[in-house]
Amino acid sequence: MSSTTPTIPDRLLALAADFTRHHDTLRDLALLRGPKPGSNLVQRVIPRPQALARSAMDVSDTVETMPRLYRSPEVKAAMERLAQLGALALLAADHILDAADLLLDGPPASGARQVAGYGTPLLEAGRRIVLARQLTSLGSEDCLATARLLAGELHAQQHLPIDHRPTGLSRTQLQALEAVAAGRVTLDRLQDRAHVRPDEFRLSISTVRSLETRGLVHRETCPLPLHDERLHLTPDGRTALTALFALPVATPRQARRSGVSTPPSTARPASRPAVSPARSATR
């Protein structure tokens, strides 16, 4: 189903998954443990938000240079979101760099006291990690909202050809695809259960398996306690969701005839105030 060259909404959905992976890494309880937590941050963590910022800017540049693209309010809003995503990722990288510096400059520690041995530097580094996590916590949601916005607008302006809407998906399956794209679905292997946020719909493991069978989602190891795996969209899953966003919403009668339910809305409030990075994430 997926094309050789990903569309702009496809790229945004892939970026959403990368924001989710980044956020999982920052929530990993083992992040600051071990004999060299500073080096761990430098090697394992810092490259990810820097890559997120580059990807957001690359997508923004692609939209900026599209020929014959009318700068509608939707396009302008999408570009503002992309600018914010890039700036927030750079700020997060900056805080992680500061945390790494604190730990690299801190006193050595060993044995059972290796974490406590850092004392104040470790506590301060932890605060910087929390700040980095807060700055990027809505990155996946923002990417999903921007993908929805651009898919509809680019299709309306004939910059995004879509042949057909995927058929045979229930409303719950559509909700699940969007929740997966936003980084909200994890799996508990022991209890064979799928987890979404408590205020959301109930997602059964049978729905997850039905999407896996169709090749729309796949599992990745998740570092969070009690969450063994996280669901991510496959390339075909991203293409399917882009098509659902781009094509006009079916009426209830059309939906019943085609076997497709009206896709649920995940629109977020208006863009947050733009944030400019205090300094570059690269030194």
Task: Name the pTM for this structure.
Answer: 0.82
Cβ atoms of 24 and 223 within 8 Å: the answer is yes
Is residue 279 very low, low, confident or very high in pLDDT (cuts 50, 70, 90)?
A: very low
> Are the C-beta atoms of 182 and 203 separated by less than 8 Å?
no
pLDDT digits (tens, 9 = 90+) for 211-227: 999 999 999 999 888 78
The CB density around residue 227, as the number of other CB atoms within 10 Å, is 17
Q: What is the mean pLDDT of residues 95-112?
A: 72
Q: Are 184 and 141 in contact (CB under 8 A)?
A: no
Q: Pick 207 or 226 by higher pLDDT.
A: 207
Other Cβ atoms closer than 10 A to 247: 18
Read off the pLDDT band of 112 (50, 70, 90): very low
Number of DSSP helices (H) and strands (E) in the chain, helices first:
10, 4
- Asked whether the predicted pLDDT for residue 253 surpasses 80, the reply is no
Residue 20 near residue 26, CB atoms below 8 Å: no
Q: Which token pair is 170?
A: 């229930």
* Contact of 143 with 65, CB cutoff 8 Å: no
Tell how strand 217-221 and strand 186-188 pair up: unpaired
What is the full DSSP assignment across 26-95? HH-TTTT-SS-HHHHIIIIITHHHHHHHHHHHHHHHHHHT-TT----HHHHHHHHHHHHHHHHHHHHHHH
3-state SS assignment for residue 188 = strand
What's the rounded Cα separation, in Å, for the pair 230 and 194?
A: 9
